[in-house]
Structures are given as structure tokens and as C-alpha cells.
């Protein structure tokens, strides 16, 4: 859009001196040349009145020239300031009307002023500039592109030499405005929008008697440039206007549709009694239909289980689930399937006309389904009413009870099995000691014999090899027997009935070593256990069996977190500082995200349900450490590993009271 500043810049390209006044005689703009040649250096002229700047005689010539220019005649100004050292400057006055009011440009050239050139040519120049500004204003105020091109000829005429005989034609996006000039001599201005020629403006006369001036060509070129910049914005404005009109039409249509919907809704309310699926229900309550309907809907929505009424086409008619829309297929809405379920209850009820009850598994959830047939007055099945109950928790409890029963049975068997193992192991331990002592006595005798019989073999082995390794083998047998005894004792202790009292002298390092032995076979498949036990850790009063249960749970969990494609490492370390024992159980396994870490101690939360996890191990561990006035924390990072940190004070206080649930 052409602003006044653009007009000022354009004038300064043609004239050395330019002073622009408003209708009150205040300066709107002054060129650098007129400031430097005509006024003393005492600050900007803009905003000052001619009374502040000029001599009284010069003020009179300016006022007179402004009146003449507004009347359309020639106005000449002799500009002089209060400073006698500054020479006078003759200027020509022009006039046009801007959006802000009257504008009077005073202009001329250095040295000759208005003496050089014909005054008529100057009049034509100011006409062209006023026309240019008027076109810019027309672009701004036009309501639409067609409105602009319709009003353009009248505005453009004022800038042409023979305004009464000019012919102006325009074409934009296939729409023509006015008639094409018949003269061969005319000016054509292409209209370029988004690098595409969208139309043109042709300006000429009725005949070839008049010539077109170069200034007129320059004027039209400038107008074409302005349109190039403005048409895209106008196009956008047009689209917004159309969109506003469309939005208004849409809102009107929407209001009309709402009215129609309200009318149709009333009709449907009256026709509900005729709906096929609920005929049998509505026939019984015709007398008090509204009251019964409200009561039925309230009861329907209050049912805690998911309830859905399905027609014979497997489409949802009614449901108490707010996120399910009636009209959609039941298998899509409830089970996210593209086709009906393989064990479709509707198909079975249509065939047998009897209720169906079953349990189905959906991912990690177990759903109990009760399907009842809905009959019409002819006792034909019109659909089914299904109830969905989530029984995942009950299933989990049942599985956990079975697992607990198995573990209890194993606990009862361990004592007897341990006794059966210990009896033969006692023979092994006693006999190994006799064999060790016998060999210690016999081997020196055999050594003497070998000196004379170097080819001696025992157990088909050369005597030198046999002599080197026999005591190692016997020592290994003794150590293995002792290990069997320790493992059996650990199992018997672990499965011993616990009274729950915190009366034991707990040696945490000994419990860690015992726990590591008990889980060695389970953990050794995919991880190694590394113990870093501080020798200065004292005992504390607590429950050894419960602490051992916590340690075993953490070590086994750590081994199960190791990826199958590599061997892991589990580090167990202890430390004692400030009358507090710290136990670290660290692994380099899969790690956990923040969401899992936040839930890890919640009862029944598990990431291993498919592998038989109950979600109780860490919840129980948390409670045990809490009973010992301690704290258990976890730090984990995905793909890096997990560290459990247990802190137990050696100075035991009364355990905190448990919250009532």
C-alpha cells in the first residue's frame, strides 16, 4: 500500500526542494535540500507551523498559493525565513486530499526554481502524483477486488492529460471492466500476482489524435507496481470475506439444522415405543413412560459393570460407557477388532435362544461376559444385553493363592528332604576325612615304592599325575560335602515357620553370604554375584528370616533383569556409618523407566506377570524394611541397570504404627 512517505520519496526523486504542509499550515515533510538551503539548523521542521518558520510576507504567499492550488489554479510561493542570510526559494504549490485531510506539496528545483520548464508541465506532474496517491487510497478502502476495478477508471482519469477523452480498460482473472481503447497508441500494464500474469490495465484515447506522455507511462507503471504488491493481500482479504460469509451461512444453516433436530427429536421421542429392540420394555410402561424412562436410564447408568445393548446387526444400541457411541459395531467399540469375534455370543444366542456366560482374556486383563437374549413380542431374539466384568484382580488373587499353596507345600517338604540329604551327606563327610588321613599316611610309602618302580599306575593314571591331584580331589569332595550341609541348613532356616518377632541378632554379612549360596544355581545361569562386604558391620536386633527373604528377592529380581544376549553382574555391598547399615544390590540389567520406578513397591504391580510374577515380592520387602525402622530406595536407568539401597539403623526403635486401611 502507498503511504504518504512513499509519496514524499517519489516527489523527492523529481524535485530538489519539497516542503509538504497540511491544511493548517503545519509541516508534514521537508526534504534535506530545502532544510539545508532554506532554513537554519535548529532541529526538525516536522510538526512546526509556517508562522514559526517564515517571514510574514512569505507566510502570505504560502497561504495565497494554498488557496489557489485547492481551487485548481496555479499557486506560486516565494519562501523566505526570518534569517536574512538565507536566500529566498521560489516553489510551486499543489493540492490533493488524503485520508487525514488536505495535503499541500510545495516543490521546485535548485537554481532555476520554477523558472526552468513550463508551468503547465508542473501542473500535470502534480496531477499525476495526486492520482497516484488516490489510487493507493482506493486500494486500501475498496471492499473487494471487483469494487476496486469498477472504481479505478474514475480515479485514474485525474492523472491523465485529457481526462475527458481517456479510455481505461482492465481485466483481472478473466473478469473484464470497461471497454478496450480503439486507438493503436495505448499503455499496457500487466498485473502480476505470485509470479503469474493474472490480468492487465490498458489506457488510451478514443482516437489517435492525442499522444501519451512518458510521465503517464511512468505513472501507470508505478500503479502497476502498487497493484502487484496489493492484489495478493486483497486476494487474501477476499478469501477471508468469503469465509466470513460462508461461516455466517453455515451458522444460519446450523441454527436451522438445530431447529430441525429438535423437531425430529420430539418426533423420535414419540416414536420410541415402536422401536423393535425395546418394544417389550416400552409396552409395559406406556402409562408412566417419562417417569419409567428416567428411572430406567438412571438404573442403567448406575450399574458398575459395563453394559451394552446390541441389535441383530451387531451394532451398539445403548450402553453405560460414555466413551462408546451407539451405532458402531460392538466388536469395534469394545474389542478394537475389524471383524466379529470367533466366539460371538450373538450368533450362539440367535441359534440357541439361551443365555451365554464365559471368561475371555484381553491382553493382560480377564473379562467375564454374561450375555442375555432380548426378545420381541413374537418371542424372537431382537438382540442381546451383555454385561462385562473385569475379573483380572480375582484371577490374580487365585493364581497367587495357588502359588502360595505350592510354596507352603514346598516349605513343608524341605525339612524332610533336608533330613534325607543330610543323612548320606554325614557318611560322605566322615568317610572323606578318613580317606584324607589314610592318603596322608599311605602316600609317603607309595612314594618310596615308585622310586624303584617308576612305571606304577593308579586308577589307570601315571603315578606322578595321580600324586599331584589326588589330595585336591579329596579336598574338593570335602568342600562339596560341607557346601551341601550349608545349603540344606539355609533352606531349613528359610522355610522355618516365622513368628514375626524382631528378637534375632542379625549379622547382615552372614545373611548375604547365605542368600548368595541359596540362589547360586538360579542366578548363575545368566549372571555372576560379586560380594563386597565391609568387615566392620555390627549386628543389629531384628528378624533374620525376614531380612534373608528381602535379600533373596532382590538378588533373584536382579538376575531376571539381565538381557538374554549377555552375561550380567550383580554386586552386593555393605557399609556401616553413623550407626546405620547400608546394603547395595546393583545390577547391569535392563533398568526401569520413571513410571515403573514410581510403582515398583505397589502391591500386585509386576512387569513379569506373563512369567508368573505376583507383584508382591517388593511390596513385602518394603514392609519388612519398614518394620526394622529402615528405608529401601531404588535408582534405575533404562539400558544401564538398577540399584536397590537398604538403610537400617543399628539402634532399633519401636516400629512405626501401620496405617489402617
Is the pLDDT score of 657 beyond 60?
Answer: no
Cell of residue 500, nine digits: 514375626
User: Tell me, what's the pLDDT at 111?
Assistant: 46
pLDDT band at residue 117 using 50, 70 and 90 as cut-offs: very low
Give dist(CA 450, CA 452) in Å, integer.
5
Q: Concatenated DSSP letters for 308-347?
A: EEEETTSBEEEES-TT--TTSBHHHHTT--SS--TT-HHH
Average pLDDT of the chain is 78
Count Cβ atoms below 10 Å from residue 612 Cβ, excluding itself.
Answer: 10
**368-389 per-residue burial string, b: 16 or more CB within 10 A, e: under 16:** bbbbbbbeeeeeebbbbbbebe
Give dist(CA 512, CA 570) in Å, integer.
13
What is the share, in percent, of the chain residues with pLDDT greater than 90?
A: 14
Q: Write down the pTM of the prediction.
A: 0.35
Q: Which residue has the higher pLDDT, 438 or 125?
A: 438
Cell of residue 622, nine digits: 518394603
Q: Which residue has the higher pLDDT, 1 or 651?
A: 651
Mean pLDDT of all residues in 475-486: 77
Give dist(CA 106, CA 77) in Å, integer.
8
Do you know the residue count of the chain? 661
User: Tell me, what's the pLDDT at 115?
Assistant: 35
Three-state secondary structure readout of 432-501 = HHHHHHHHHHHHHHHHHHHHHCCCCEECCEEHHHHHHHHHHHHHHHHHHHHHHHHHHHHHHHHHCCCCCC
Backbone CA torsion sign across 362, 556, 411, 632: negative
Closest CA to 237 of 143, 172, 146: 143
CA distances from 644 to 538, 554, 613, 622 (A): 21, 8, 19, 11
Give dist(CA 149, CA 178) in Å, integer.
9
CA angle 603, 607, 608 (to 5 degrees): 100
Mean pLDDT of all residues in 364-378: 85
Give dist(CA 194, CA 141) in Å, integer.
22
pLDDT band at residue 274 using 50, 70 and 90 as cut-offs: low
Give dist(CA 509, CA 536) in Å, integer.
10
Give dist(CA 617, CA 644) in Å, integer.
14
Give dist(CA 160, CA 167) in Å, integer.
10
Closest CA to 226 of 151, 156, 139, 134: 139
Mean pLDDT of all residues in 535-546: 90
User: Tell me, what's the pLDDT at 112?
Assistant: 40
User: Tell me, what's the pLDDT at 632?
Assistant: 94
Is the pLDDT score of 240 beyond 50?
Answer: no
**120 within 8 A of 110, measured Cβ to Cβ:** no
Give dist(CA 340, CA 146) in Å, integer.
59
In the three-class reduction of DSSP (H, G, I as helix; E, B as strand; rest coil), residue 104 is classed as: strand
Is the pLDDT score of 86 beyond 50?
Answer: no
Is the pLDDT score of 1 beyond 50?
Answer: no
User: Tell me, what's the pLDDT at 474?
Assistant: 85
Is the pLDDT score of 139 beyond 80?
Answer: no
Mean pLDDT of all residues in 613-624: 78
Phi, psi of 421 (to 5 degrees): -75, -40
pLDDT band at residue 113 using 50, 70 and 90 as cut-offs: very low
Q: What is the pLDDT of residues 576-615, one digit of tens each?
A: 998 999 999 999 999 999 988 888 888 777 776 655 555 6
Amino acid at each position: 500500500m502507498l503511504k504518504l512517505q512513499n509519496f514524499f520519496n517519489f516527489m523527492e526523486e523529481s524535485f530538489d526542494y519539497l516542503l509538504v504542509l497540511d491544511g493548517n499550515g503545519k509541516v508534514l515533510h521537508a526534504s534535506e535540500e530545502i532544510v539545508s538551503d532554506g532554513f537554519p539548523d535548529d532541529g526538525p521542521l516536522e510538526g512546526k507551523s509556517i508562522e514559526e518558520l517564515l517571514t510574514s510576507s512569505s507566510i502570505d504567499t504560502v497561504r495565497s498559493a494554498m488557496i489557489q492550488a485547492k481551487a485548481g489554479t496555479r499557486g506560486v510561493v516565494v519562501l523566505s525565513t526570518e534569517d536574512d542570510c538565507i536566500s529566498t526559494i521560489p516553489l510551486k504549490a499543489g493540492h490533493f486530499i488524503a485520508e487525514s485531510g488536505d495535503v499541500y506539496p510545495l516543490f521546485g528545483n535548485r537554481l532555476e526554481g520554477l523558472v526552468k520548464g513550463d508551468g503547465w508541465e508542473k501542473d500535470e506532474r502534480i496531477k499525476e502524483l495526486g492520482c497516484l496517491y488516490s489510487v493507493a487510497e482506493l486500494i486500501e478502502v475498496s471492499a473487494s477486488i471487483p469494487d476496486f476495478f469498477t472504481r479505478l477508471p474514475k480515479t485514474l482519469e485525474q492523472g491523465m492529460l485529457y481526462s475527458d477523452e481517456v479510455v481505461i480498460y482492465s481485466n483481472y482473472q478473466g473478469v473484464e471492466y470497461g471497454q478496450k481503447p480503439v486507438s493503436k497508441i495505448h499503455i499496457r500494464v500487466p498485473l502480476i500476482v505470485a509470479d503469474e500474469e493474472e490480468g492487465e490495465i490498458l489506457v488510451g484515447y478514443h482516437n489517435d489524435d492525442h499522444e501519451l506522455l512518458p510521465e503517464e507511462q511512468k505513472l501507470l507503471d508505478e500503479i502497476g507496481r502498487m497493484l502487484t504488491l496489493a492484489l495478493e493481500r486483497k486476494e487474501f482479504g477476499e478469501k477471508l470475506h468469503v469465509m466470513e460469509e460462508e461461516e455466517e451461512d453455515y451458522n444460519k444453516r446450523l441454527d436451522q439444522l438445530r431447529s430441525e433436530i429438535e423437531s425430529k427429536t420430539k418426533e423420535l421421542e414419540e416414536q420410541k415405543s415402536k422401536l423393535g429392540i425395546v418394544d417389550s420394555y416400552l409396552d409395559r410402561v406406556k402409562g408412566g413412560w417419562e417417569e419409567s424412562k428416567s428411572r430406567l436410564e438412571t438404573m442403567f447408568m448406575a450399574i458398575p459393570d459395563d453394559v451394552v445393548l446390541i441389535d441383530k446387526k451387531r451394532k451398539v444400541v445403548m450402553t453405560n460407557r460414555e466413551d462408546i457411541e451407539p451405532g458402531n459395531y460392538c466388536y469395534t467399540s469394545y474389542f478394537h477388532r475389524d471383524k466379529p469375534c470367533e466366539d460371538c455370543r450373538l450368533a450362539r444366542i440367535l441359534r440357541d435362544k439361551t443365555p451365554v456366560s464365559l471368561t475371555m482374556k484381553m491382553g493382560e486383563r480377564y473379562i467375564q461376559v454374561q450375555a442375555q437374549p432380548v426378545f420381541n413380542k413374537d418371542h424372537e431374539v431382537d438382540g442381546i444385553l451383555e454385561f462385562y466384568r473385569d475379573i483380572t484382580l480375582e484371577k490374580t488373587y487365585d493364581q497367587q493363592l495357588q502359588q502360595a499353596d505350592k510354596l507352603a507345600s514346598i516349605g513343608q517338604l524341605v525339612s524332610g528332604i533336608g533330613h534325607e540329604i543330610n543323612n548320606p551327606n554325614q557318611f560322605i563327610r566322615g568317610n572323606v576325612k578318613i580317606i584324607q588321613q589314610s592318603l596322608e599316611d599311605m602316600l609317603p610309602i607309595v612314594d618310596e615304592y615308585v622310586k624303584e618302580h617308576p612305571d606304577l599306575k593308579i586308577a589307570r593314571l601315571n603315578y606322578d599325575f595321580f600324586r599331584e591331584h589326588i589330595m585336591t580331589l579329596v579336598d574338593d569332595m570335602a568342600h562339596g560335602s560341607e557346601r551341601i550341609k550349608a545349603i540344606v541348613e539355609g533352606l531349613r532356616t528359610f522355610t522355618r515357620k516365622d513368628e514375626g518377632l524382631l528378637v534375632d541378632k542379625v549379622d547382615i554379612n552372614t545373611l548375604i553370604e547365605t542368600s548368595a549360596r541359596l540362589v547360586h544355581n538360579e542366578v548363575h545361569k545368566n549372571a555372576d554375584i560379586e560380594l563386597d562386604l565391609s568387615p566392620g558391620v555390627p549386628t543389629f536386633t531384628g528378624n533374620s528370616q525376614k531380612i534373608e527373604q528381602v535379600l533373596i528377592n532382590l538378588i533373584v529380581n536382579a538376575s531376571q533383569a539381565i538381557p538374554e544376549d549377555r552375561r550380567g553382574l550383580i554386586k552386593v555391598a555393605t557399609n556401616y556409618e553413623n550407626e546405620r547399615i547400608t546394603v547395595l544390590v546393583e545390577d547391569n540389567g535392563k533398568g526401569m523407566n520413571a513410571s515403573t520406578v514410581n510403582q515398583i513397591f505397589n502391591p500386585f504391580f509386576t512387569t513379569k506377570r506373563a512369567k508368573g510374577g505376583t507383584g508382591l515380592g517388593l511390596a513385602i520387602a518394603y514392609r519388612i524394611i519398614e518394620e526394622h525402622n529402615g528405608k529401601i530406595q531404588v535408582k534405575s536407568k533404562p539400558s544401564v541397570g538398577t540399584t536397590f539401597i537398604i538403610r537400617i539403623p543399628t539402634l532399633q526403635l519401636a516400629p512405626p504404627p501401620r496405617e489402617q486401611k
